[in-house]
Amino acid sequence: MNASRTLDPANPAVATRPTRLDFLSSDDKEMLRAARDAVKDLGAARAAFYWPDMLVSAALGYGATAFAILTASLPLAVLSGLVAALAFYRALMFIHELTHIHRDALPGFRLGWNLLVGIPLLTPSFMYEGVHTLHHKRTQYGTVEDPEYLPLALMKPWSLPAFVLIALLAPIAFLVRFGVLVPLGAIIPPIRRLVWARASALSINPDFRRKPPESAFRQRVLWQETGGMLWAWTLLASTQVLGWRPLLIALAILSLTALLNQLRTLVAHLWENDGEPMTVTAQFLDSVNVPPPGLAAEIWAPVGLRYHALHHLMPSMPYHDLPEAHRRLKQELGEASTYDGANHSGMLSLVGKIARSTMVPRSR
């Protein structure tokens, strides 16, 4: 099957949107070829985008958090807390870029991000590096071996709110992981192995078990975990000097950040695969773009994540080049093409689509 329009049998004059089911056994080679050829001059990660974006986001997050803690006005505290959550959310999403850019592309950026964002927010890059790339493996996407896939659209209706709301506990879980379980694991090897296998990856698949780190990556894990442990202890010790209020406000802000990310994750895919391997095109159509003109997606899917389906076609494309890559492919392939099948209007319509799918009766 190629990128030509698919006709609605009920009305041959109307083109229908291609879906994952149209490409279970074969790829749209025209689209894949266009995705390769149309962006040959793009793909270089540019420090002029990465560093200012990350630094401004982090500074705004810390500044707004400090204001939320220090102000005596509840409305201003809530408003600044919201600003902080959104800023931290954008700063944290650079962890996704770190898993894809070449290790030599942005000298010092990985270290700088970990020191300024990853470790202070108890989400160092090792929790995504070596994990997210499994989600992009052609034979693992959407299967039980994919750490970032759950067939949410095929599950019970209550699974969607449960999936989203559990994210509120993430900051406390990270505090316990680094402040309690890491030092215990250093003394008791079985705890160490359990924590690494079950609580060292930003995954949503409860059956995923992480393999032990090796070679140079093991050294990165060691210093990042040590940094996270020392910072967690510092946060807990601060309550003896400053009281619990500052830490609780910070945890509330980060809970909101985690909730935003979980909502974004909920609509990053259509979650319709039942565990079988898929073609690249089917994986693309099971993923989601929310392109302009809407501005809201740039807030809830920052750092290029509004082009998540396109990202699955070209994982190494830096976030600042994705808008231009999308524009070119849209122009090249046109309306109602296979490429257009992954473009959606917004979060609410996507949540509604997935929610309706969970209500369809299915045989056991």
The three-state secondary structure class of 61 is: helix
The Cα 297–Cα 293 span in angstroms is: 10
Q: What is the DSSP string of 249-271?
A: HHHHHHHHHHHHHHHHHHTTB--
> Which carries the bigger pLDDT value, residue 139 or residue 230?
230
What is the distance of C-alpha 298 from the center of its chain?
14
Query: Residue 151: CB partners within 8 Å, gap ≥ 6?
Result: 142, 271, 272, 273, 274, 275
Residue 13 φ then ψ, to 5°: -80, -10
The strand pairing partners of 8, in sequence order, are 11
Asked if residue 109 lies in contact with residue 91, where contact means CB atoms within 8 angstroms, the answer is no
Question: Which tokens in the block code for residue 188?
Answer: 């008791």
Per-residue pLDDT tens for 223-244?
Answer: 999 999 999 999 999 999 999 9
The Cα 137–Cα 302 span in angstroms is: 23
Residue 9 has pLDDT above 80, yes or no: no
The pLDDT of 103-118, averaged and rounded, is 94
Per-residue pLDDT tens for 317-364?
Answer: 999 999 999 999 999 888 888 999 999 999 999 999 999 999 887 654
The pLDDT of 100-109, averaged and rounded, is 89
Asked if residue 191 lies in contact with residue 185, where contact means CB atoms within 8 angstroms, the answer is yes
Q: What is the amino acid identity at position 178?
A: F
Question: Which tokens in the block code for residue 19?
Answer: 């879906």
